[in-house]
Amino acid sequence: MYFSDGVSAPLIACVLASLDCLTFDYVTRQKVGGTHLTYFVLNQLPVLPPSSYSRDEIGFIVPRTIELACTAWDVQPFMDDVWRDADAALRSAIERQWCENRNEAGGHSYDPPAWYRSPEDRCPLPPFKWNDDRRVRLRAELDAYYAKLYGLGERDLRYILDPADVYGADFPGETFRVLKEKETARYGQYRTRRLILARLSHI
């Protein structure tokens, strides 16, 4: 997937988030007939265009996406690009996101490895620290947010997460069966469904 020169790094981060959301995953599963994603199928998928994002939407999506994506120095150039193209408000939002990560996960110091070559207009923040609990919450927030951007209501999202939740246990269709079974076995509940639906009511 290529972007024109006029598309900023924050908007590319928004497209990345849309490609990773459960709503997009669900639609893609309806289109792909095997394990091969062709360009013909790719061109039919509902990728939200960079031009569709408002300033407020960018401010919500980008800091969360950056925390999920930029957890190591080999991805730091992407964080540098986002920082370079961000306005003052978005930079402040990214800084707040980083501080929340540091307070909860411990954070990293700015101590790049010898091979890393930082640009002059680099992001002053080191990579985010990986934290499983934060990551699952952030993913749920983005999944709920994108469900709204795609125009889905609660019933639509419940169907995508688990059709049996809408139509009953005898409904023959399944969507994210493996995810549901793994989480139920590990946590005693379909955790992703609970977190996303809980977040949907706050958006």
The phi, psi pair for 175, rounded to 5°, reads: -120, -80
pLDDT at 5: 82
Q: Is residue 78 part of a domain?
A: yes
* pLDDT digits 0-9 by tens, 178-193: 999 999 999 999 999 9
**Considering the chain, what is the average pLDDT of its residues?**
93
Nearest-Å Rg of the Cα atoms of the chain is: 18
**Does residue 29 contact residue 175 with C-beta atoms inside 8 Å?**
yes
Are 81 and 168 in the same domain? no
**H/E element holding 49?**
none
Q: Is residue 35 part of a domain?
A: yes
- Crossing angle between the packed helical segments 154-161 and 132-149, to the nearest 10 degrees: 130
Are 171 and 98 in the same domain? no
Q: Is residue 113 part of a domain?
A: no
pLDDT at 202: 85
Tell which of 105, 134, 166 closes a domain.
105
Unique residue bearing structure tokens 């469900």? 147
Q: Specify the amino acid at residue 121.
A: D
User: Which residue segment(s) compose the domain that 23 sits in?
Assistant: 9-105
Structure tokens at 125: 């923040």
* pLDDT digits 0-9 by tens, 118-153: 898 999 999 999 999 999 999 999 999 999 999 999
Q: Is residue 137 part of a domain?
A: no
Q: Is residue 124 part of a domain?
A: no
Tell which of 85, 105, 125 closes a domain.
105
Total domains present in the chain? 2
Structure tokens at 203: 């958006």
Question: What is the pTM assigned to this prediction?
Answer: 0.93
Are 96 and 159 in the same domain? no
Residue 88 — pLDDT band, cuts 50, 70, 90?
very high
Q: Is residue 178 part of a domain?
A: yes
